[in-house]
Amino acid sequence: MPSTTAAALAAVLSSVASVASAFTTPSSATATTRAGKTQLYSTVDPTVVTKKEYQDICGVDFDDNALTDRLKKTAYLYPKHVEVIEDFEPLVNKMVDDILLETGEKAWQPQDYLPDLAADDWLEQTKDLREAAAGIPDDVWVVLVGDMVTEEALPTYQTLLNTFEGCDDPIGTTNSAWARWSRGWTSEENRHGDLLNKYLYLSGKTDMRAIEVTIQHLITSGFNPGARKDPYRGFLYTSFQERATKISHGNVGKVAKEYGAKDLQRICAKIAGDEGRHEKAYQSFCTEILKRDPDGLLMEFGDLMRGQIVMPAELMTDGKDAQLYENFSAVAQRLGVYTAIDYADIIQHLVDHWKIGELTGLSSEAEKEQEYICRLPQRYRKLAERSMNKKKDDEVEQHSFSWIFDRKA
């Protein structure tokens, strides 16, 4: 081998060895943690590769804080969305304090609205409840049960909240504002299913085992609202769904009152009040997102609405009726508890509340979504009216429900 070639090869090998040594374990003295130093020296030796060279190669510094921040950002599917929601975390803290109720003795509990079976007059209290419930027709029971089953699937909904990037509770007791909101919201929602479940049991008008089977099926099946782990989509969905739930519970209470069940009306009104408070919080979260990233939220809002809002109980089944959700929804529609008109009205409420039509400075893509979203309520209302008018002309088809001992509604 010519001497010049050998010299060149030696230089290349020396260069490669130097670079390689920068990413191998240095001496134990270098790897030892010292004040102002870092354990990361076990993989990067700054005496071989300068900070600037490392930044040029990897795009990040090699100190603990910079790498942690880099890993945090690259771990998310929606890093920009996470940055936005982290920016208004102080507002979330305020929501925890102002929107959520105090826990313990100062909070309402299901037992406040039910007969006290430990009291001397427990039998009279229970008889009063059952007498008031005796006049409620089967179609109202079906809708009440459907609403209760939806509430009892709460474990699925908390699981959903913990999939929203930047809003999770990774250890179960995380002290972030988002984790505190998630746990507080869940604790309040937990009362709804408990209260309705006990009311139905005491009424003696429904097949509780069939209902329990339905609840277990629904929790096992889960549901996918199309949030895709995106906090923007998640809060858009909850803004819609909390309002829908408020409307449904409130209307069931109004119908119950017409049949003399004032205690049930009081129960439904209390639950609807909770849903209304939660609705305000989620809509406030979206308002804050709009202040910081209007383009981003509008793009997700439009896409979410193209797929329509998935109802949380759409996978419900009692193991017998494969069309249980559709049949339950049809009864709710006929009673006017929750209708296609309500769906259109909720979209209109959100458009008005967030002043979607007044947003300016948008990208061309976001402007198209703005126009689409603002036109949606009227489009849905026309379709709903057409569909409801057609159903009035059609003969009402009744279905049997295991929840009411296979009677038809």
Q: What is the pLDDT along the chain (409 residues), one digit of tens a residue?
A: 555 555 544 554 454 444 444 444 444 444 444 444 444 444 556 677 776 776 666 665 656 566 556 555 557 899 999 999 999 999 999 989 888 888 878 899 999 999 999 999 999 999 999 999 999 999 999 999 999 999 999 999 999 999 999 999 999 999 999 999 999 999 999 999 999 999 999 999 999 999 999 999 999 999 999 999 999 999 999 999 999 999 999 999 999 999 999 999 999 999 999 999 999 999 999 999 999 999 999 999 999 999 999 999 999 999 999 999 999 999 999 999 999 999 999 999 999 999 999 999 999 999 999 999 999 999 999 999 988 777 766 678 899 999 999 999 9
At 405, list the tokens: 């001992």
Name the nearest CA neighbour of 210 among 333, 114, 321: 321
Q: What is the pLDDT of residue 19?
A: 43
Is-catalytic flag, 108? yes
Name the nearest CA neighbour of 185 among 258, 281, 314: 281
Catalytic-labelled residue, pool 192, 249, 263, 403 = 192
DSSP 176: S
Q: What is the pLDDT of residue 401?
A: 98
DSSP 309: P
At 168, list the tokens: 């999770």
Q: Give the Cα separation of 196 and 140 in Å (integer).
A: 13
70 φ, ψ (degrees, to nearest 5): -65, -45
Q: Give the Cα separation of 93 and 82 in Å (integer).
A: 16
Catalytic-labelled residue, pool 194, 245, 321, 369 = 245
Dihedral-angle region of residue 316 (phi above 0 means left; psi in -120 to 50 means alpha; beta otherwise)? beta
- Which residue reads 């937990």 in tokens? 190
Tell me if residue 171 falls in helix, strand or coil: coil
Contacts of 190 (CB under 8 A, 6+ apart): 154
How far lies 191's CA from each of 148, 187, 317, in Å? 11, 7, 23
Contacts of 14 (CB under 8 A, 6+ apart): none
Catalytic-labelled residue, pool 139, 169, 275, 279 = 275
**Residues 203, 195 contacting (CB under 8 angstroms):** no
The H-assigned helical ranges of 135-230 are 138-152, 154-161, 177-203, 208-221
Per-residue burial over 333-349, b if 16 or more Cβ lie within 10 Å, else e, is bbbebbbbbbbbbbbbb
Q: Give the Cα separation of 371 and 306 in Å (integer).
A: 13
**Residues 304, 226 contacting (CB under 8 angstroms):** yes
Is-catalytic flag, 274? yes
Tell me if residue 401 falls in helix, strand or coil: strand
Is-catalytic flag, 151? yes
Catalytic-labelled residue, pool 138, 152, 194, 242 = 242
The DSSP result for 310-379, as a single string, is PPTTTT---SS-TTHHHHHHHHHHHHTSS-HHHHHHHHHHHHHHTTGGG--S--HHHHHHHHHHHHHHHH
Name the nearest CA neighbour of 267 among 108, 104, 100: 108
Show the beta-strand stretches assigned E in 83-184.
Answer: none
Q: What is the pLDDT of residue 32?
A: 44
Catalytic-labelled residue, pool 150, 207, 214, 278 = 278
Other CB atoms within 10 A of residue 19 CB: 13
**Residues 348, 377 contacting (CB under 8 angstroms):** yes
Q: What is the pLDDT of residue 37?
A: 43
Angle (CA) 12-18-23 rounded to 5° is: 130
Tell me if residue 400 falls in helix, strand or coil: strand
Is-catalytic flag, 242? yes
DSSP 383: H
At 40, list the tokens: 């990361």
Contacts of 263 (CB under 8 A, 6+ apart): 113, 128, 129, 132
Q: Give the Cα separation of 261 and 70 in Å (integer).
A: 59
Q: What is the pLDDT of residue 54?
A: 65
Q: At what angle do helices 177-203 and 262-292 cross, to 10 degrees?
A: 160
Catalytic-labelled residue, pool 108, 303, 317, 353 = 108
Catalytic-labelled residue, pool 138, 151, 321, 342 = 151
Q: What is the pLDDT of residue 67?
A: 53
DSSP 395: P
Catalytic-labelled residue, pool 207, 263, 274, 342 = 274
Catalytic-labelled residue, pool 45, 152, 189, 194 = 189
